């Protein structure tokens, strides 16, 4: 994708999930701006002016040279009020009513109270996705 799109910004979520090949390419990109790839005994290279931004949970397991190329930022977990605001905003953007979004957020907060915030927000989205698919199917059956 880097060869095709040559992005100005590269956003990586769950960086710790990358393969070692991708770590190497990312490290080269950040160190020199050069990426290379070998396919069918041919090598291609490109020079990119790309800035990389990444998020991860267990970044201490990343190769040291790659870690050194990032500025690390740490964020506090959500307070309940913040969590409910974020969850409600996401779920209403996905088509949930404000009442349902708040209910889902409150239930997930109660279930995962002491857990890390990323698990709770993802749990809310899963409930929202599954719940609204079911809700839409139920409405379709009632209308026919």
The whole-model pTM stands at 0.63
Non-local (6+) Cβ contacts of 79 within 8 A are none
Same structural domain, 110 and 59 = no
Same structural domain, 57 and 14 = yes
Q: How many Cβ atoms are within 10 Å of 37's Cβ, its own excluded?
A: 13
In eight-state DSSP terms, residue 77 is P
Number of domains in the chain: 2
Q: What is the pLDDT along the chain (144 residues), one digit of tens a residue?
A: 899 999 999 999 999 999 999 999 999 999 999 999 988 999 999 999 999 999 988 888 899 999 999 999 887 777 888 888 988 998 898 888 999 989 888 888 887 765 545 555 666 666 655 554 434 444 444 454
Non-local (6+) Cβ contacts of 107 within 8 A are 127
Same structural domain, 85 and 59 = no
Domain that holds residue 126: 80-143
Same structural domain, 88 and 35 = no
Same structural domain, 61 and 97 = no
Same structural domain, 50 and 28 = yes
Q: Closest by alpha carbon to 121, among 94, 92, 86?
A: 86
Sign, CA torsion 108/111/113/114: negative
**Position 75 in a domain:** no
**Position 73 in a domain:** no
Pairing of strands 42-47, 34-39: antiparallel
**Position 137 in a domain:** yes
């Amino acid at each position: 994708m880097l060869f095709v799109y040559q992005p100005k910004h590269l956003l990586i979520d769950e960086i710790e999930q990358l393969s070692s090949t991708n770590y190497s390419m990312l490290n080269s990109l950040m160190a020199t701006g050069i990426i290379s790839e070998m396919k069918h005994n041919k090598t291609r290279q490109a020079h990119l002016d790309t800035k990389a931004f990444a998020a991860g949970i267990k970044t201490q397991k990343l190769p040291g040279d790659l870690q050194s190329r990032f500025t690390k930022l740490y964020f506090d977990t959500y307070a309940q009020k913040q969590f409910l605001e974020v969850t409600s905003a996401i779920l209403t953007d996905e088509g949930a009513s404000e009442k349902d979004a708040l209910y889902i957020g409150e239930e997930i907060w109660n279930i995962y109270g002491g857990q890390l915030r990323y698990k709770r927000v993802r749990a809310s989205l899963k409930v929202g996705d599954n719940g609204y698919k079911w809700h839409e199917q139920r409405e379709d059956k009632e209308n026919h």
